[in-house]
Structures are given as C-alpha cells and as structure tokens.
Structure 1
Amino acid sequence: MTSRFDRDAIRRELARARARTLSLVDDLSDGDQCAQHSPIMSPLVWDLAHVGNYEERWLLRALDGRPPLDETIDWLYDAFEHPRSTRPTLPLLDPVAARSYLATVREETLGLLATVDELDAPELLRGGYVYGMVLQHEHQHDETMLATRQLMGERAPGVPGARPVLGQRARVPSGEVLIDGGPFVMGTTSEPWSYDNERPVHLVEVPPFHLDRTLVTNRDFLAFIDDGGYQHEQLWHPRGWAFRCEQGLEHPLFWQRDGANSWSILRFGRRIDLAEHLDDPVQHVCWFEADAFARWAGKRLPTEAEWEKAATWHPGGTKARYPWGDQDPDPDRANLGCHVDGPCPAGTTASGASAAGVHQLIGDVWEWTSSDFVPYPGYEMFPYPEYSEVFFGGDYKVLRGGSWAADPLAVRGTFRNWDHPIRRQIFAGFRCARDA
C-alpha cells in the first residue's frame, strides 16, 4: 500500500481490483449474474454496478464536483435504500449495461487522476486516502461476491485463479500461549488508508490472558458436534439457542453427513472429504456457534482488544502493522488474496506467526471476537457516516484478521470488520481465549 499520493501505484491498484471484480462475473451466464442466490445476498450484477457507483461518487463527484452520469443510478445502488432481499425487484442495469457503466466511470476516473491536485481536496487526497477507500470498498465487495458464488451450491463455479487447498496435517502443536497483561496502544494514526472506526489511537489496559496458538480446526469442531454440542442448550447464548432451534443447525454451513462416520464439505461446487481437511480452520460458523464451542471447551472468545494486542503488540512495547512486523503480507506469511480456495491447515504460514507464537492471526478466516461494534473513545466520523457510524450500537459483533478471500490491501492488524452474530455465509472462524 502506498503511503503517499502515488498516482502510478493507485492506477495499478485500480486495475488490479477491477480485474478481480470482473473475474467473478465473467464466467457466469447472464441469468446467474442477475439471479438472487440467497435472500441475504444481492444479485451479483447489483454488486457489479454498485462498485462503479461508489467510484463515481467519490472519485469524480467528491473530488471534482461533477454531476451524476445518470440520475437514477444512485437510487438503484443505494445499499441503505434497498435491503438485499428487495434488490432483485429493482430495474437494475443488465450485465452488459453494468460493464459499460463501469468502463465509463473508470475512463473518467483515470483522466481525473492524471490531473487532480491534493490542494483541491486536501483531506480526501492526503496519502491518496479517497482512492484507498474506493479500492478497499471494491475488494470488500469482491469477497461478498465470492460468498454469493459459494451460495450457488452444487452449481457454484470455482474461485478464479485459485488452487484447491490440499489436505495436510497441522504443522504446529495445539495449545495456547500466555499474552502478558498491561497497557497497549489500540487503533492507528499511521495507516494512511485506515477507516474512521480504526481511529484514534488510545491506551487500553488488557489483563494477562491465554490465547489459542492456532485457529479452531475442523477436527476440533467435529469433536464438539460428536459430543452433542448442538443439543446442549446450556452451552448456547439464549438468542443463539433460539436461532439454532429455528434454523435446525447441526453443523457448520456447507457440511454434510455422508454416513455414520463420514462428512464432506461443499466448497465452490465440489465436495471435499472432511477427513482429508481435519486440520484446516473451521469456517462458515456464526458467532453463536463459535461462542457455544468456546463454552464447551471451557474457554471464551477473545475481546477485540485482546486480539489486536496479540496481533500487533511486539516485545519492548512497540506496535506493528502485522504479527510478524511491518512488512507487507505475502503467501509465506498469510493466506490472503485467493491464492487458494479456502483456509489452509494450522501452521501453514509459519513465518507469519507472532513473536509469542500465535499462528494465522492474519488471513485464512475472519475471527469472531466477543466484542460489540462500538466507536473508540474520541471517534470522529470521516468522510461519511454510512461506513461506520450508522452501525455502532447495533446487533453487530467484531471480526478481525481477514480471510483467504480478503485482499491484502484491505487487511491489517487494526482493521475492524463486523456482522450480525447469525451470519454463516461469510468466511469466518475463530480461536479461543481464557483468563490467566
């Protein structure tokens, strides 16, 4: 990520993000692009035009004061105006028109990028901030689009450009590490493309705690299932138990029992044998499932402050962008960016472990924490309330760390994701903690 207004770097990143977006629709029929594959997800063609509309709003209108290219498009692609369940009923741009709109916006965006001056919009252009905001937004929608493709079930196509995850044994022992107590600096002011909810920095006192060395694996979660974890009400949050009963939950989403002692997982249209992937981190579990497992294991989910301290606070009291330091992620350190089509076995990216010996804090699966999504002390909204502010205090739990489907540009040790505790389609898993 560039730390200054580097036009060439921004141009390359815009092209890379758009190539990824188009790869997620170009292998689908028009019908599959326009269909709603789940009531909790948008038609893919809605996401496609929405990323273009967001780019138009911020990289043309906010920077240059240009009028809308089409007065009707803002309304159609306003995520707050139209819940996902109603979007198929809208007169959306068809796949050809959506691509034409994206191309028109991009042509004008690149023309303006060549001439725009930081003095024209100093807050938005400092460090290329508004370009970083648009890039992260597109990558986040790409991850959502991958989740939508997975929800196509047996017909789901594979992940473009990704290799299948190979079943392997875990490379590190299970167990936990002790994270020392004391204050640490939470949040960031040094990340030029950080969102308002990551700021400002503030001291947080964290008591000592134990944190799992690895993510909870399929092997671990299968033991929870076999021990009747989905049948013991006392393990579940009351709302979680009601949700479990209402939905008839018996296992993670996309798992299937194929016999008395046999399971498979549906992953982008192909069935994989769970027995060959027991040491992969479990994914597609909601917060309530993660919380119930932690209770069953005699532990709890970490707070987001505990997670961030483990992921960013280094010996000697210094803060880094990642568990391994400030170097950008690469495949040896973190499973990000769709190099493979799922989470890798525990310990695969050993060079990305923290100094304390905690593995895979970045990448593989988003990690549920126990924390609600609330603002930091001294929070100031920037540049619009609909990114963070409108979600504060709602029914949202914080997730940290990114997933295999998240782009490295949109993942860092201070990044805060959030979602409803019932969500299972996202690429989320967890690790456990306990008091020292």
Structure 2
Amino acid sequence: MSPLPPFDPALFTSEGDRAALRTVLRHHWAACRDRTLALFDRITASHFCPQLHSDYSPLGWHLGHLGWTEELWILQQCAGEKPLDPTLNRLFAADSLPKAERQNLPDRGWILDYLAEVRSRVLAYLDRAPVDQQVRLWVWLLQHESQHNETVAFLHRLATGLPPLPATALPSPDFDSVIIPAGTVVVGCDRIETQDNERPAQRVWVDGFECDRFPVTQGQYHEFIAADGYQNPDHWSAAGWQWRTTHAITQPLHWQPDPTGQHHPVCGISYYEAEAYAHFVGKRLPTEWEWEKAAGSNGSGETLWPYPWGEDPPQPHHSNFDTQIGHTTAVNAYPQGQSKTGCWDLLGNVWEWTATPFAPYPGFEAYPYRGYSAAYFDGQHQVMRGGSWATRPWGLRNSFRNWYQPWVREIFVGVRLVRSL
C-alpha cells in the first residue's frame, strides 16, 4: 500500500489551510475505506451474518455500523441533515440490539450501497465543512473504522483458522534485556489524533527497570506448557486459576507449535496466562508507563517519541501492521523498528498486556461522547499497548491505549516482561 501523507500539525489550527487539510483528509479517508472493503472482500456469505463469537457482533454488522456512525457524526451532527433511514438506528447503533440479535442483517449489497451513499454525501459536505474546527472528529472516525477492521480481522481468523507460518532464515533473537533508567517522562499525548483516554499528556516518575528486548516468543512459552504450567496453580492468581480450570484452558488460543514459528510472538493469551507465565520465569508484566517509556524514550529529556523509531509515521519497514503480512512475524524481523532503548517489535505483530487497569488520566475529558472510554473505567479491564499485525496505521502509536477484560484472548495479543531493579 502506498505511504499516507502525514498530518501536518500546522493544518490543525484555525490559521491552517482548509484546502490542504481537506486534501489530506480525503486521502486518508479513501485509504481507510479501501482497506475496509478489501477486508470484506475476503469474507464469504457464510461468515457475513452469523455471530461467530458470543461476545462480538456479526461481521456484517460492523460494516453497517461504520456507515451509520459516519452518517451520525458527520451528516447529522455536523451537516445538520436528517437520517437517511431512521430504522437503522435500532440495528446499527452500538448501544441498541444485543449482539446475538444483530444477525438479521440487510444483504451485503444493500449495506455496501448504504456505505457508498453516506460516503458520497460526506465528501460533498467536506467541500464546505469548517474542517479546521472539526478535524479531531474526522480523525477519530478514521480510528473508529480502523478498530472495527481489527475486530473483523480477528473474528474472521477465528472462523477460518490460522495459516501455516512460513519458514524464516533469520537468526535466533538475542533474548537479553535492557536497562531503562529511572526518571520523569511525559506520558500520554495531546496530538490531534489521540483518543480521549490518551489525554492529557502528563509528567510521571518511572522507577528504573529491566525490560525484555523482545515480546515472549512461542518457543519461550512452550517451556511453560512443557513444564505443566497450565496444571500448576502456584503460577496463577486465584481469578486466573478459576478461569483456567472452568474453561479447561491448556494452551494459547492462537497456538502454532510448529518449529518454524518458535521465534514468532506467542499470540492469543489472556491476561491471566501472561501473568502465570511471568511468575513461571520470575518476572512481571510492565505497567503501561514503563511500556511507554521503553517504547518512546529518545535518550534525552522527558519528552517521548510518538513511535519507537522516532517522529516518522509507521512504514512497512518499521513493523508488521495493517494486515500487510497476514500473520505474525519473527520478533526480530524489523531492526529499523527498534526503540532507542534497544527494545524490538513494540508496535504491530501482537498487542502486549500490561499490569495497569484501564482508568482515566487526571484531567480526562470524554470525547466524542461520554461513554466512549469512560464506560470501561470499571476496574475490570486491563490496558494493552503496541498494536498487532492487523492494526491499521491510524491506531498505531506509543501512547495508544487498548483495553480488554483479563480473560479475553481472541485478539492478537501477547506479552513482554520486565523485572524491577
């Protein structure tokens, strides 16, 4: 896929060039929608309407929801237009029908026509929109579509199974660790693309710690399985052991024990499994601020880089993201993506669990509606960092916070471990 033009911060001010900003937004919106349509081109009719997992909506619902959300925020809220079809609110609103009742969908062709009609009207409005005042919303919608893309990707993979991992000629990773010195850093971010839960940026003190250079690989995790780690309650928290025994869990969800994948990151583990493995090897999960410091420290001052490699937006040589590969890669496949601290594979490939419960930063302000993040500040969700091979570029940055309940493992998620100094 061709590189995306960068968002120039100068365009996000009231003095910015509206025409230039419209051009950039058009390019990004077209690129994001192209990815959505390409993703759904691979989804057969047998997988479009059924609910593939009890915790998630049908794949086809996500497609309709994208059009409905775009219509709601741009055409209705910004342009002041009336709904194209008020009955769609009940079907495609996120807080309407229970997920199990979302299977009675219009056919794919109708939903695609609806998306095209909404997009046509949105682009017509863009020509006259005060985009310098609305740009945060337009960029939020890019990320909204991107996040639904990733949900569709992992649900589709659950239904179709994992492809065999190709052999790699890469040498074995150097499984050592790096020392991250103590100090104050600015975590979070106030850039226009950041979500409400990433804001406001704040200065925090982070104690020194030792961080694994790579995320935990399948080869490393296999040692836990071979040592009967799933049968030994000593490694597990009380909640984790209850979950493991109740569901008879004996290995990661996306487990591919073939030797060709031994240097790929372990993928499809719950927070409970990550925690148990950490106990097995005598380490712990990082806090999210430890993770962010390891990813973004540039070696000078308190300011963190937005990406491990610096200021430049993600490109294919940096990491495995945007479904460009279609599966995980070896953790040492992207030397140009490593951080200044010496950590590899921080963005893309697999998400990484942290020890931090999902909670608001001091000074949090909900956007674009009160429940977007705040509904999950319930003490029952853990923060994940980093992104996966299916994460779109609009959601790939050091400060991005993903969140799931500790038993969830359908997503493409692994772990990187640390040790206190």
The TM-score, its normalising length taken from structure 1, stands at 0.89
Write the letter of the residue equivalent to 2:246: E
Given candidates 81, 86, 91, the residue that maps to 1:71 is 86
Distance 1:215 1:27 in 2: 30
Are residues 1:285 and 2:269 paired?
yes
Higher strand share: 1
Q: State the 1:80 CA deviation.
A: 2.4
Shift, 1:195, TM fit:
0.8
2:356 pairs with one of 371, 383, 391: 371
Q: Secondary structure at the match of 1:225?
A: helix
Match of 1:47 in 2: 62
Does the 8 Å CA contact 1:294/1:300 hold for their aligned counterparts?
Answer: yes
Query: 1:186: which partner in 2?
Result: 187
Closer, same or farther: CA 346–27 of 1 in aligned 2, 3 Å: closer
Q: Distance in 1 between matches of 2:405 and 2:334?
A: 29
Distance (Å, rounded) in 2 between the aligned partners of 1:26 and 1:169: 33
The residue type equivalent to 2:46 in the other structure is G
Q: Distance in 2 between matches of 1:118 and 1:149?
A: 35
- Report the counterpart of residue 341 of structure 1 in structure 2: 326
Per the alignment, residue 261 of structure 1 pairs with: none
Q: What is the Cα deviation at residue 308 of structure 1?
A: 0.7
Equivalent residue for 2:278? 294
SS of 2:229's partner is coil
Aligned partner of 1:244 in structure 2 is 244
Written as runs of structure 1 = structure 2, the 5 A alignment for 1:220-369 is 220-255=220-255, 265=256, 274-317=258-301, 318-369=303-354
Between the aligned residues of both structures, percent identity stands at 37
Deviations 1:320-376 (A, max 9, x none): 111111011112211111111222112111111111211111111101001000000
Find the residue that maps to 1:32 and give its secondary structure: helix
Give 1:164 deviation, angstroms.
Answer: 6.4
Partner of 1:391: 376
Asked whether the 8 Å contact 1:197–1:376 carries over to 2, the reply is yes
Please list every run of 5 or more consecutive structure 1 residues that lacks an aligned counterpart in the other structure: 256-264, 266-272
**1:101 alignment partner in structure 2:** 114
Give 1:269's aligned residue: none
Distance 1:323 1:242, change over 3 A: same
> 1:139 is aligned with what amino acid?
S
Contact 1:170/1:279 (CA < 8 Å) preserved in 2? no
Deviation of the 1:394 alpha carbon: 3.6
Aligned equivalent of 1:140, options 147, 167, 178: 147
Partners of 2:131 and 2:336 in 1: how far apart? 38
1:165 Cα deviation (Å)?
5.0
Does the 8 Å contact 2:59/2:152 carry over to 1? Answer: yes
Which amino acid is 2:151 matched to? T
- Pairwise CA RMSD: 1.7
In structure 2, the gaps of 5 or more residues are 1-5, 13-20
Q: Does residue 1:34 correspond to 2:49, yes or no?
A: yes
| Distance in 1 (alpha carbons) for counterparts of 2:331 and 2:144 | 29
Contact 2:297 2:340 in 1 (8 A): no
Preserved CA contact (<8 Å) 1:216 1:281: yes
Match of 2:18 in 1: none
Q: What does residue 401 of structure 2 align with?
A: 416
The number of residues matched between the two structures is: 405
The residue aligned with 1:59 is 74
Distance 2:101 2:404 in 1: 20
Change beyond 3 A, Cα 1:347–1:173 = same
2:37 is the alignment partner of 1:22: yes
